[in-house]
Structure 1
Amino acid sequence: MDKIIIQDLLLRGIIGINPDERVKKQDILLNLTLYFDIRRAAETDDIQYAANYKEISKRVIEYVEASSHLLVERLATEVARLILTEYPIARVLVRVEKPGAVRFARSVGVEIERDRGDFGLE
């Protein structure tokens, strides 16, 4: 399966369990790998057969910046669900990181991989 890579989306949102994290937006770093067969798009050079990564990115940004999950695990899962239910993506790898969340670490995060079957879509 082919891969479309969206790397280092730096967003601002509410994420975390501590009281100060519930009111102040903080940096959230998001990386996505979208598994999608690009052959028809490549053969026809037609966007209707492609995974429109600009549209997908805009939708994910909109979602993350409006969300207020407690855990990065939940945010990663909901981003995967959004992509797989709204777009014809076969599988997605989602990495969510909180830069500076742990002292002496550049960032801390989770990485999950989900397919359409994980959300009852196939």
Structure 2
Amino acid sequence: MTAVTGNHKATVRIKDLLLRAYIGIKEEEINNQQDVLINVCLTYDAAAAIYENDIRAALNYRTITKQIIGHVDGNRFALLERLTHEVLSIVMEHEAVHWAAVEIDKPHALRYAESVSVRLEAHRDS
């Protein structure tokens, strides 16, 4: 197999992570868990993972997902913006992550709309 040189920036997507949380400010939202749908997109330098073909050289997206689940599932948040910020912070705690975007949907938050979502992104200064 021919080695490819150059940029080894990998994009990892965690798609449609469906969790339940108490989210909102109305009484019914405070008292009842609701679905939240989380999507994460991140980039990292995958050169070591590619060349070494070893899990220890790769970004462990399973660990990131478990951290998100532990933080969100069953917990309380007043605002979707705050929840999105907290999840983005969890992702950016991993030094290997260069850039990340988190979008969280709150299905059926508005009448006549499938969902409402908030998207935030961050990047690490080089």
TM-score w.r.t. the length of structure 2 is 0.86
What is the CA–CA distance in structure 1 between the aligned matches of 2:74 and 2:20, rounded to whole Å? 9
2:113 to 81, 105, 108: 105
Hey, what does 2:5 align to over in structure 1? none
What is the CA–CA distance in structure 1 between the aligned matches of 2:96 and 2:50, rounded to whole Å? 16
Q: Structure 1: give runs of 5+ residues left out of the alignment.
A: none
**Structure number with higher helix proportion:** 1
Hey, what does 1:6 align to over in structure 2? 14
Q: Larger Cα Rg: Structure 1 or Structure 2?
A: 2
Matched, 1:61 2:55: no
Count of residues in Structure 1 that have an aligned counterpart in Structure 2: 118
Q: Mean alpha-carbon deviation: is it higher for 5-14 or for 34-43? A: 34-43
Letter in 2 for 1:49: A
2:123 to 72, 97, 115: 115
CA contact (8 A) 1:36 1:91 kept: yes
Deviation at residue 86 of structure 1 after TM alignment: 4.2
RMSD over equivalenced CA pairs, Å:
1.5
Identity across matched positions, percent: 36
TM-score w.r.t. the length of structure 1 is 0.89
User: Which digits, 9 at most, give the CA deviation of each residue in 1:27-46, with x for residues without a partner?
Assistant: 00000001111121011111
User: Which digits, 9 at most, give the CA deviation of each residue in 1:6-53, with x for residues without a partner?
Assistant: 100010001111111112110000000011111210111111111111
How has the CA–CA distance of structure 1 residues 28 and 87 changed in structure 2, closer, same or farther, with 3 Å as cutoff? farther
Q: Structure 2: give runs of 5+ residues left out of the alignment.
A: 1-8
User: Which digits, 9 at most, give the CA deviation of each residue in 1:64-98, with x for residues without a partner?
Assistant: 11431111111111111112124531221000110
Matched, 1:28 2:28: no
